[in-house]
Amino acid sequence: MSPRPPVLDGLDELVAWRRELHAMPELGFEEHRTAAFVAERLRAFGLDEVHTGIAGTGVVGVLRAGSGRRTVALRADMDALPIAEESGRPWASRTPGVMHACGHDGHVVMLLGAARELARRRRFDGTVVFVFQPAEEMLGGGRRMVEEGLFDRFPATEVYGLHNWPWLPLGTFGVHVGPVMAAADRFRIRLRGRGCHAAMPHLGRDPVTAAAQLVSALQLLAARETDPLDAAVVSVTILTAGEADNVVPETAELRGTLRSLRAATRDRLARRVTETARGLAAALGLEAEVEVTPGYPATVNTAAEAGHAAAAATAVPGAAVRRDLPPSMAAEDFAFMLEARPGAYVWLGTGSAADGRILHSPAYDFEDAAIPWGVAWWVRLAEMRLAA
């Protein structure tokens, strides 16, 4: 039995907004209609300031009450994914090959709902900065916002983010101290050998068999070089070589991702990928070109702000709070905001994994029943952190 949701005036309108956004998904740095949708509503709520065009398509709203001496920032991401939707919903994506497969449409609407409620009540003493961020999905919109001076223009002392989590029951909040999600880096390895006729492999230097051995060798970086109590993932996701059945090709290429929670582990994996590829290639008479491209750092909550986030969740009637969850090895560019300011990133359970609606799936659709839980948490967090 699902818990009874918090009472929320105007919920039907928020659900309609969420479904409207779901039907018009936009990829990272292309969220022009979404940004206009957000800005129009923030202005209608009577916010003191609404800024557009931040980091390309980002939107920031500012709401003040009382002295305005303290400032907190609340962030939602807006972009969709390049996935063809298969949900079958009446409000499914109308843009071929693009869909909201990660619930960012729900994130936008929950923060809009909180902005509306906080603007109505103004039961706080300070400034709330509502950050609607573009391009979270591996394009680094959060990094760009920080680099372009987000916290210089809007000097928040702490920042918070919220993400739906289908694997938790509806109305359950997951709050971590320390790592929440992993660092994510990419690697590309090009093995160069000597091509030859496939019937005479002894006359060449085969990069395909070397690539096969390298896939296995790279797995040992996690399985045999990383402390079992630490966490690391090395995934080869692309392997390309050759075009003809009877030709040993000149080159083979491997690409993939490195995931880690600790900075030292992240640095070691990057170094050891390079050493392993070059060492194996040399042993087999090949050359290896290796590129490791830094991506997102680990998303790490500060202890005090995680405590504030958990206290706000506890204050939501009927909510459950989990403080014992392991981190996820997925990545999140809210990490850049947490590097710039103390803060916390919180998971909101939707329970949708039970019927196959998981993140980044073509069948995914945000659970509208989660909207009042998210709005209630945002409102309580802002009011508690800026208590009059």
Using one digit for the tens of pLDDT, what is the confidence trace for 136-172? 998 999 999 999 999 999 999 999 999 999 999 999 9
Structure tokens at 193: 């050998």
Predicted TM-score (pTM) of the model is 0.94
For 175: left if phi > 0, alpha if psi spans -120 to 50, otherwise beta; the answer is beta
For residue 232, give both structure tokens.
């690391």
Question: 339-373: per-residue pLDDT in tens?
Answer: 999 999 999 999 999 888 999 999 999 999 999 99
pLDDT of residue 146: 98
Average model confidence (pLDDT) across the chain = 97
Confidence of residue 181 (pLDDT cuts 50, 70, 90): very high
Residue 106 is predicted with a pLDDT of 98
Q: What is the mean pLDDT of residues 105-116?
A: 98
Of the chain, the percentage scoring pLDDT greater than 70 comes to 99
Q: What percentage of the chain has pLDDT greater than the value 90?
A: 96
What pLDDT was estimated at residue 67?
81
pLDDT at 31 over 70: yes
Average pLDDT over every residue of 176-200: 98
pLDDT at residue number 379: 98
- Confidence (pLDDT) at 5: 85
Greatest distance between any 2 Cα atoms in the chain? 82
- Residue 97, Cβ neighbours under 10 Å: how many? 12
Question: Which domains occur in the chain, in start order?
Answer: 11-180+298-385 (3.40.630.10), 183-296 (3.30.70.360)
pLDDT at residue 328 greater than cutoff 90: yes
Q: Is it the case that residue 1 has pLDDT exceeding 80?
A: no
The answer to whether the CB of 129 falls within 8 A of the CB of 157 is no
Burial label, 169 (beta-carbon count in 10 A; 0-12, 13-18, 19+): middle
CA 117 to chain centre: 26
State pLDDT tens for residues 67-108: 878 999 999 999 999 999 999 999 999 999 999 999 999 999
Q: Which two tokens stand for residue 239?
A: 């392997």
Helix axes 104-121, 32-45, angle to 10 degrees: 20
Distance, in Å, from the CA atom of 346 to the CA atom of 351, rounded to the nearest integer, reads 15
Categorize the per-residue pLDDT at 198 as very low, low, confident or very high, splitting at 50, 70 and 90: very high
Per-residue confidence (pLDDT) for residue 2, from 0 to 100: 74
What per-residue confidence (pLDDT) applies to 191? Answer: 98
Which pLDDT score, from 0 to 100, does residue 153 have?
97
Which residues lie below 8 Å from residue 344, measured CB to CB, with a gap of 6+?
160, 161, 175, 176, 301, 302, 305, 306, 308, 309
Give me the mean pLDDT over the 287-314 stretch: 98
